[in-house]
Chains A and B, each alone.
Chain A
Amino acid sequence: MGKTIIPIGPYHPLQEEPEFFTLTVEGETVVDIDVRIGYNHRGIEKLSEMKTFENSTFVVERICGICSTSHPYAYTRAVEDIFPMEVSMRSKYIRTIIAEGERIHSHLLWLGLAGHFLGYNTVYMWAWKLREEILDVMEILSGNRNNYAMFKPGGVRRDINAEDIPICIKKIDSILPTLNMLKKAVLDDPVLHARLKGVGVLSYQDAIDFSALGPTSRASGVARDVRKDSPYGAYQEMEWDMIVTKNGDVFDKAVVRILEMFETAKIMKYCLNNLPDGEIDAKIKDIPPGEGIGHIEAPRGETFHYVKSDGTNRPMRHKVRAPTFMNFPTYKATVKGQTISDATIILAAIDPCYCCTERIAVKDVKGRMLYDGQDLIRLSREKTEKMKQRMGVR
């Protein structure tokens, strides 16, 4: 059978990392995949060398809109690692609260879009409605729905007011029953089981070889979480579970993210209830020459920053490694042998960014357009519909 090449991408300004996939398909089966990134390479590392240590925090905050706290968190930890120094307990708690709030809203965003692609628009509506509640909590705490600007080397920029804490806890409590309902709706649905189980499997050994991170690795049975492995912030202070599943398929990746949200809510509530008193800023004056490494668990996995200082007020070298950089190449292992109608959800399961899937186009050898992004979403939905009919579910 003749091979067809399907270009996906490359560009969408909303993505943190735009990408261009070339899928080679035989009939409906994907036989090869190639990725080209860098369409929106912004030179943040170079830019950061021209900013002061203080200003770089704002630069890295704008790397990603969804996980806008993970980069400043890793960066400030890298700068503090140059001394090395520890920040005050109160700022550790505040940092943990912000980082966990971001994790819930990021996972809800993923869940909603995953539902959308599978033709489960109710899941999409519910998940995004819940996400608004969390964004409200973040607005109360930081003043912003996103890009919180809470971090600075040596502590945090804003304190949390005592009178806001009961309001936030009440809001978090209020979403838990709905979240529970959503969990049951997704995990007990026979159609979703049939549709997602065994699709896009990342084996244990592949997860190790690709050094996969975050929920992508935990779904494959690799118990890997920076919050547990290299404790930072306030994560050691309370009991919480790392969610690990074994199968490595799309379904397990969803399970990990859904169950993780409950743990996250637990951590957030503990931190808000037990916020210690104290200073929030160590008021760092000069950064000594040296090098520092900061890594934290972002919603998608470990974010890694390396900062080298030569004693001036600017970083001499600032390396940024987002989790998707390591998770991306796992496509080579997961997409091959699957069908086109599953390709969208497999590519999406690693939570890179969904925008790219709307720019998929299928062309035949002469370059005529056969399918575009909308068609692929339609294919994915039709497959779910067919399964529903076959199983007699309405």
Chain B
Amino acid sequence: MIREEILLDFTSRFHADILDLEDKSNTRVYVEITPESLVRIGTYLFRNIGARFNIATATDLPPKIEILYHFLVEDINLLISLRVFLDGEKPEIESLAKEIEAFNWIEREMSELLGITFIGHPDPRRLLLADNWPEGVCPLRQDYEEWDETVDRTRGV
């Protein structure tokens, strides 16, 4: 399939769930979808279209949290990024790791760095932060404050 066919097939199949589609360049497409449809669309991209899961990137944009799931369709060199917005107060989304093993680690990482809850994650343990790091302190949130009084970090340039 060529690029246009895949995009057309994709948009017609999920037209009710797609909120916005930004065709940035030849190789990059950003698709904003509803959080409820993420598992359906993500699994479809991975299993049916055969896209490779690159990684997910979460950003804190108060009052919301944005997650981008990047999929690369290798045959046609097209990077499809699914964008979902979550509520910043209580960020929750269905886990994709139940379906596909590749999502396991990155969801664990996002849940501790940004405090996002992945519902149904098979192994929601801590991945990166130290064992003595307090629960509920998320270093990549905009309102993050140094919790350890003994640490003196010089900020900015």
Contact = CB atoms under 8 A, between A and B. Distances in A.
Interface string B71-85: 010110101010000
B37 interface: no
A326 B79 CA distance: 18
Contact of B54 (A38, A295, A316, A328): A295
Interface in A317-341: 317, 319, 321, 325-326, 328-329, 332
Given A51-B157, A211-B102, A328-B105, A84 B130 contact: no
B127 interface: yes
Given A230-B72, A293-B79, A55 B157 contact: yes
B134 interface: no
A36 B79 CA distance: 30
Contact of A52 (B53, B79, B106, B157): B157
A210 B57 contact: no
Interface in A295-320: 295, 302, 304, 306, 308, 314, 316-317, 319
Interface in B77-120: 77, 79, 81, 100-102, 104-106
Contacts of B155: 50
B50 to A, nearest CB: 8
Contacts of A230: 27, 72, 74, 77, 79
Interface residues of B, number: 34
A328 B77 CA distance: 25
Interface in A56-82: 81
A326 B102 contact: yes
B contacts with A: majority SS: mixed
Contact of B101 (A209, A295, A304, A325): A209
B72 A229 contact: yes
Given A224-B52, A229-B74, A317-B59, A50 B102 contact: no
B25 A84 contact: yes
B68 interface: yes
B52 A293 contact: no
Interface string A228-241: 01110000000000
A275 to B, nearest CB: 26
A229 B77 contact: yes
B64 interface: no
Contacts of B139: 43, 46
Contact of B127 (A37, A81, A308): A37
A210 B101 contact: yes
Nearest to B78: A230
A45 interface: yes
B28 interface: yes
B45 interface: no
Interface in A120-174: none
A50 B54 contact: no
A41 interface: yes
Contacts of A325: 55, 105-106
A364 B54 CA distance: 40
Contact of B157 (A43, A50, A304, A329): A50
Contact of B102 (A36, A55, A209, A229): A209
A329 to B, nearest CB: 6
Residue of B25, B52, B57 contacting most chain A CB atoms (<10 Å): B57
A55 B14 CA distance: 42
Given A41-B130, A210-B101, A293-B79, A224 B74 contact: yes
A332 B155 CA distance: 40
Nearest to A310: B61
Contacts of B100: 209
A151 to B, nearest CB: 19
Given A46-B139, A304-B55, A321-B55, A41 B128 contact: yes
Residue of A293, A306, A314 contacting most chain B CB atoms (<10 Å): A293
Given A306-B57, A317-B59, A210 B128 contact: no
A328 B156 CA distance: 33
Interface of A: 36-38, 41, 43, 45-46, 50-52, 55, 81, 84, 209-211, 224, 229-231, 293, 295, 302, 304, 306, 308, 314, 316-317, 319, 321, 325-326, 328-329, 332
Interface of B: 24-25, 27-28, 52-55, 57, 59, 68, 70, 72, 74-75, 77, 79, 81, 100-102, 104-106, 126-130, 139-140, 155-157
Given A81-B25, A326-B102, 15 more contacts: A41-B130, A43-B139, A46-B140, A50-B156, A52-B157, A209-B101, A229-B72, A230-B27, A230-B77, A293-B70, A293-B81, A302-B54, A306-B70, A321-B106, A329-B105
21 contacts: A38-B127, A38-B130, A41-B129, A50-B156, A50-B157, A81-B25, A209-B100, A211-B53, A211-B102, A224-B74, A229-B74, A229-B75, A230-B27, A230-B77, A230-B79, A316-B59, A319-B55, A321-B55, A325-B106, A328-B105, A329-B104
